[in-house]
Amino acid sequence: MTRRSSLLLSAALPALTFSSELEAAETPRPAQSLSFTALDGRKVSLEQLRGSCVMMFFFSTDCGHCQKAATEIAPVYSRLRSQGFEILGLALNPTAKDNLPNFVKSYGVEFPVSLTTQAQFRKFAGMSVMARFYYPYLMFVDRNGVIQAEHQGADRAYFADLPNNLIKTLTPLLAEKAKG
């Protein structure tokens, strides 16, 4: 290794270390408290769903990938809901205030949805304001309130076969019993 390449490598290492700090927190980790008023007026909280497996669906109503995901999630939700599967949907885009009702109707959304901000999402996800993320963003919370997995829109392989990948992610979580 030449002196120049050694210097370049030593300069890059701190940047690599820093960039890893910008990602979402490691899994598994306890889910933070979360509550909201759903579009239909219901008060919903992650705490009241303890004992269920919950998928957090962070999305943009204007995002084609999110629209497709919502459509693909609907039959999985119908199939697994009786086993203790719940979904909480939170729209992050500024225009969602006006078009969330149409999104719900157009894409067969039957789970509670509401609005949130990127700041609230980042806090819940344990993500730096400098980290880049892509819609949709899925977080899987087990029956004990622990985030066990997460997938964002940039994970093309996961979203390419979303229904089957959801089943693969949820099956072991649904098989676990809640503690205490």
Residues 69-110 have pLDDT tens digits of: 999 999 999 999 999 999 999 999 999 999 999 999 999 999
**Continuous H helices in 31-125:** 64-80, 96-106, 118-125
- Domain locations along the chain: 22-175
Q: Write down the CATH superfamily of domain 22-175.
A: Glutaredoxin (3.40.30.10)
Residue with token string 């225009």? 95
pLDDT of the residue at 8: 39
pLDDT of the residue at 25: 73
The chain-wide mean pLDDT, for the chain, equals 89
- How far is residue 109's CA from residue 75's CA, in Å, rounded to a whole number? 10
Residues 23-37 have pLDDT tens digits of: 557 999 999 999 999
pLDDT of the residue at 15: 37
Residue 22, Cβ neighbours under 10 Å: how many?
Answer: 12
Do the beta carbons of residue 139 and residue 48 sit within 8 Å? no
pLDDT of the residue at 180: 74
Enter the pTM of the model: 0.86
- Res. 17: pLDDT tops 60: no
Q: How confident is the model at residue 54 (pLDDT cuts 50, 70, 90)?
A: very high
Residues 148-178 have pLDDT tens digits of: 999 999 999 999 999 999 999 999 999 999 8
